[in-house]
Structure 1
Amino acid sequence: MFNDKKPIYTHTLMHTAATLFFKNGTNIESIRRMLGHASLSTTHKYLQLTDEEVAKDLSKANW
């Protein structure tokens, strides 16, 4: 049963989905485009990531 004492907002769902996409292999640039962010740093703040996870993903990027 759902807990009606703590509402779930659209922003929370987007934040969670973006984090799950990243942790399951979607690169940060794709997530940035999906969310419509102009800056990669905005996407990084939006995701619940460690610096190590970001460094690992960026090392795989084809710049």
Structure 2
Amino acid sequence: MIHKSSKQEMRNLRRRNRSKRNNVAHPTKPRLVVSKSIKHISAQVVDDHTRTTLVSSSS
């Protein structure tokens, strides 16, 4: 039986790979990454071709 934590890890990996797979089809477009917590939200624009963060903002 698979543990709950490993199921969550598998789900997270699938989600991450799905978003990266879509970005591979458009290598010239930067990727918007949004992270949120209870108190804060942050966003980054990432260029995967050069592997750099172009813009970052948080509040």
Higher helix share: 1
Higher strand share: 2
Common topology (TM > 0.5):
no
Normalised TM-score (structure 2): 0.39
Normalised TM-score (structure 1): 0.37
Greater relative contact order (CA < 8 Å, ≥ 6 in sequence): 1
User: Which protein is bigger by CA-based radius of gyration?
Assistant: 2
